[in-house]
Amino acid sequence: MPEPIADHGGRRTPYGPPGGVERLAAALPGRLRDALPAEIGLGSPWPVRVDTFLDEGVTEADVDAWVQNVSATHSSGDALDIGVRDGRIVGVRGRAVDRVNHGRIDPRDRHGPSTAGDGVRLTRPMIRQEGRLAECDWDTAMDTIVRRSKELLGPPGGWGRLGFYTGGRLLLEEHYTLAVIAKAGIATPHVDGSTRVGDATAAAALKASFGADGQPGSYTDVDHCDAIALWGHDMAESRVVWERMLDRRLGPRPPAMIAVDSRDAQVAKEADVHLPVRSGTNIALMNALLHELIAGNRVDAAYVARHTIGFAELCRVVEAYPPKRAAEICAVPAALIEQAAEILGSCERLVSTLLPGFYRSNQATAAACQVNNLHLLRGMLGRPGAGVFQMTGRPAGQHARETGASGDLPGMRNWENPDHVRELAELWNVEPAAIPHWGPPTHAMQIFRYAEQGSIRLLWISAADPVVALPHADRVRRVLESEELFLVVQDLYLTETARLADVVLPAAGWGEKPGTVTGADRTVHLCERAVEPPGEARADLDVFLDYARRMDFRDRDGAPLIAWHDAESAFEAWKACSKGRPCDYTGITYDRLRGAGGIQWPCTPSTGHGAERLYAGGRFATDPGVCQSFGHDLATGAEWGAEYYHAREPRGRAFLHAVDYEPSSEAIGDGRPLYWDPVSKQPIYSVATVPVTPDAATDAEAAELADVRGGAGADGVVPVEVSQRLEEV
């Protein structure tokens, strides 16, 4: 892939930060900003530059229509228009009005996931007959699934025999509909998706520190900041946000940049300070940086006293990490750590972003929490230029988490809070007992484990190809091949996973279905249908709605459980679910999104604007009635429980989590696999990529990554590029 600067023929657009008045204005709530005089620049100063990528031989004049959509290749939420000619997608163009990308797009967006050539898409449902997949009509396929579902649901414990695994292509409306089908229709907690592979740590760290999921910051923080810290994040992979950062770096008063990454990442070349820490030692580095801030009296004492809990314990723990000690653990010079601490301690507006280097490493959640700690200690949240991005990997990652399709109850509700469960029961008009809330929703690897053990008998995989994407493919394949398991696969292509299915359902892809996508900085974008799906392929939403209708899910008054019938009515239903929660969508409508730029949540009808930043004024979502989780022990995942949480009296203050560095319990780099599969005699590297609890598996992951990177292999150990294999195509 060519370097983005070259892609645009040197069309860089350097810019400087807005002035103090504009920064003050940016800190105001949207409705106050509307009242300001027009001469105060309210928009972002980042220049607009519209990128267009058209098929060879096609010019803009040839395009019949430009249809509003959003990037389907990553989670940044770059808004774009799809160019259509004669019913076919012929190109893409960035949307100039959008707050996220100001017209820029990633060249990779030209080839959305469903634009592969003709003839390879699934166009008709298929059903397994005498061991082979044969085409059939929709009625046959759906009736078969419904018959099997009802058979399994009959005996006691039927709910536990069905499981759902989703992927990054589903839109918000589809994730929410599936969540309601699973949690209220079938009443199973077994719903998760590949989106969690990249997201579990981000979500866990946000909940642990701030009480709820959701990025505190906004991409406009890049405009205002005077320092950028990239924690294990090769930001250059997120092209457009990276361009925004580079444009700031080329303009007047550029921000300083720190990159922490063990890889020889692109960001390392750009950064002023690059800390190539030894794999799995992030906690030691973070503790040293916090040590320097505290020792150098760089802490915003008033903010810490008023808005946080746990400062004394944090001081006690980081005291043992002077840079010299961390330098030994992390294998970087102490002077570099001091240099980084100097930048972090002296900047006034810091933007942090995190990705795999922190998430897929030893003590992952704890390390991500230390970045939150850094921002809390310096009071660097909730104001222009000061933000944390616990980034997500997949386009659907953020809204999958919010809608309850991966790892939480819908509307970012707390399964341990009976009031939250009651809210959902009232919304759906079902008995609270019908909503599984005896534990957290089952995580992806556990779902496959239950299928392996034979207690999950029907697994419905939509928009994901776990046979290719999950580690230890042969084991996943063996599970899905089992005669006992009824496998439904809903996808664009006859994937490796689909080949094992009992029923294959052809789905519509990018540009072929309407709905919304929520990007990493909480910006909600509308996708309109640009082209028709091929053959009989259907939007995933229509498939789920059809299933709900055929299953005849009812509420407690006998009315249909799912009363919506298309994307817009599903969005309205989701808005009702989000009402009053941190992710409040009630002020967003399709009409407001149509023709305009994306809107951030929370957005209520009274404001008309989305809140650009969360936690302004240091008020966090940690009140027991609001919070999404009562917290975990970061090392084991043990749940603290409601009583302990109440006793800490968080009262809207954020939690500072203090954690000592612990080397991974695995022998790093000696080539030992995690453990040996007794059946296949193969090493199993990464059964634990989605921890059961935020941190339970991270030690193991670190070891496996170290094994992989170190290249040291015992006999028969095949190094697997885990990070690559986790990225689904």
Q: Which residues of this chain interact with another protein, rule CB under 8 A?
A: 156-157, 159-161, 436, 438-440, 443, 445-446, 449-450, 452-455, 633, 635-641, 662, 665-666, 674-678, 684, 687-688, 690-693, 696-700
Output the smallest distance, CB 159 to another protein, in A: 8
Q: Which amino acid is it at 105?
A: I
Task: Name which of 62 and 677 has its Cβ closer to another protein.
Answer: 677
Task: Name which of 616 and 692 has its Cβ closer to another protein.
Answer: 692
Task: Name which of 207 and 581 has its Cβ closer to another protein.
Answer: 207
Residue 524, beta-bridge partner list? 518, 599
Compute CA distances 453 → 158, 188, 368, 478, 508, whole Å.
Answer: 15, 17, 34, 12, 33
Task: Name which of 20 and 157 has its Cβ closer to another protein.
Answer: 157
E-state strands within 335-442: 350-354, 387-390
Compute CA distances 715 → 51, 676, 682, 703, whole Å.
Answer: 50, 12, 11, 17
Task: Name which of 235 and 479 has its Cβ closer to another protein.
Answer: 479
Output the smallest distance, CB 358 to another protein, in A: 17
CA angle 351, 723, 260 (to 5 degrees): 30
Task: Name which of 123 and 636 has its Cβ closer to another protein.
Answer: 636
Q: How many helical (H) and strand (E) elements, i.e. helices and strands, does the chain have?
A: 27, 23
E-state strands within 512-669: 515-518, 523-527, 599-600, 654-655
How far from chain centre, in Å, is Cα 95?
23
Which 8-state DSSP code applies to residue 499?
Answer: G
CB-based contacts of 682, cutoff 8 Å, min separation 6 = 472, 474, 676, 716
Contact of 486 with 181, CB cutoff 8 Å? no
For residues 529-540, one letter each, b for 16 or more C-beta atoms within 10 angstroms of the residue's C-beta and e for the rest, the string is bbbebbeebbbb
Contact of 562 with 540, CB cutoff 8 Å? no
Question: DSSP 3-state assignment of 587?
Answer: coil
Output the smallest distance, CB 437 to another protein, in A: 11
Nearest to 694 by CA among 364, 390, 470: 364
- Return the structure tokens found at 616: 């302004």
Task: Name which of 293 and 700 has its Cβ closer to another protein.
Answer: 700
Question: DSSP 3-state assignment of 537?
Answer: coil
- Strands 683-684, 675-676: pairing is antiparallel
Output the smallest distance, CB 587 to another protein, in A: 37
- Strands 162-166, 458-462: pairing is parallel
Output the smallest distance, CB 208 to another protein, in A: 15
Task: Name which of 647 and 729 has its Cβ closer to another protein.
Answer: 647
Task: Name which of 18 and 631 has its Cβ closer to another protein.
Answer: 631
3-class SS string, 412-440: CECCCCHHHHHHHHHHHCCCHHHCCCCCC
Task: Name which of 162 and 543 has its Cβ closer to another protein.
Answer: 162
Nearest to 593 by CA among 577, 576, 575: 575
Task: Name which of 113 and 637 has its Cβ closer to another protein.
Answer: 637
Task: Name which of 63 and 635 has its Cβ closer to another protein.
Answer: 635
Output the smallest distance, CB 328 to another protein, in A: 21
CB-based contacts of 639, cutoff 8 Å, min separation 6 = 416, 630, 631, 632, 693
Output the smallest distance, CB 436 to another protein, in A: 8
Rounded to whole angstroms, the maximal C-alpha distance in the chain is: 73
CA distance 97 to 103: 7
Q: Is 201 exposed, middle or buried (CB count within 10 Å of its CB: 0-12, 13-18, 19+)?
A: buried
Task: Name which of 598 and 673 has its Cβ closer to another protein.
Answer: 673
Which 8-state DSSP code applies to residue 185?
Answer: I
Task: Name which of 456 and 621 has its Cβ closer to another protein.
Answer: 456
Task: Name which of 108 and 478 has its Cβ closer to another protein.
Answer: 478
Output the smallest distance, CB 217 to another protein, in A: 31
Contact of 77 with 518, CB cutoff 8 Å? yes
Output the smallest distance, CB 23 to another protein, in A: 44
Output the smallest distance, CB 725 to another protein, in A: 16
For residues 237-247, one letter each, b for 16 or more C-beta atoms within 10 angstroms of the residue's C-beta and e for the rest, the string is bbbbbbbbbbb
Q: Is 94 exposed, middle or buried (CB count within 10 Å of its CB: 0-12, 13-18, 19+)?
A: buried
Output the smallest distance, CB 694 to another protein, in A: 11
Output the smallest distance, CB 281 to another protein, in A: 17
Q: Is 335 exposed, middle or buried (CB count within 10 Å of its CB: 0-12, 13-18, 19+)?
A: exposed
Task: Name which of 270 and 666 has its Cβ closer to another protein.
Answer: 666
CA distance 396 to 156: 34
CB-based contacts of 326, cutoff 8 Å, min separation 6 = 281, 284, 285, 287, 288, 291, 334, 337
Task: Name which of 598 and 637 has its Cβ closer to another protein.
Answer: 637
Output the smallest distance, CB 692 to another protein, in A: 4
CA distance 249 to 233: 18
Output the smallest distance, CB 688 to another protein, in A: 5
CA distance 420 to 626: 9
* Alpha-carbon torsion angle 526, 531, 537, 541, nearest 10: 10
Output the smallest distance, CB 283 to another protein, in A: 14
Task: Name which of 449 and 648 has its Cβ closer to another protein.
Answer: 449
